[in-house]
Structure 1
């Protein structure tokens, strides 16, 4: 709409004016901070499926390390692993 830029300008002028009540100025700046903060949070938030994949991979690695540590503790460690085992 044509009047939106004018409303924004008058809103900022009123927020900076000493004639506007303190409560109105605080409410305006709090609202503005909330809008900016929400925008930043949404821009920086990780995508859900990427986070789920990372969690799944971490759990798989944890299970593999636990299995390996149990084998070492029981003395079931074989000769030095082949390159394929090391890569896995």
Structure 2
């Protein structure tokens, strides 16, 4: 099993818009993707900012690589990091 983690930071005042975007577009695409085991959204609100982690699990690296991520967060985010991929032991 493969885990993929992506992290982004946004202002609290737009977090509801971003979560709506995730719920309407991104999460359904992940759930429908062949080989996707699960997708989770983790939130940490501190001060005026929200850190969001998207944690997804895949049956194989090939399944993850075949997935075309619809996630285009640039309009919402202050900062983001490249996704990291791990083998789950």
Q: TM-score, length-normalised on structure 1?
A: 0.23
Name which structure has the greater RCO, CA cutoff 8 Å, separation 6+.
Answer: 2
Q: Which structure is larger by alpha-carbon Rg, 1 or 2? A: 1
TM-score normalised according to structure 2 size: 0.22
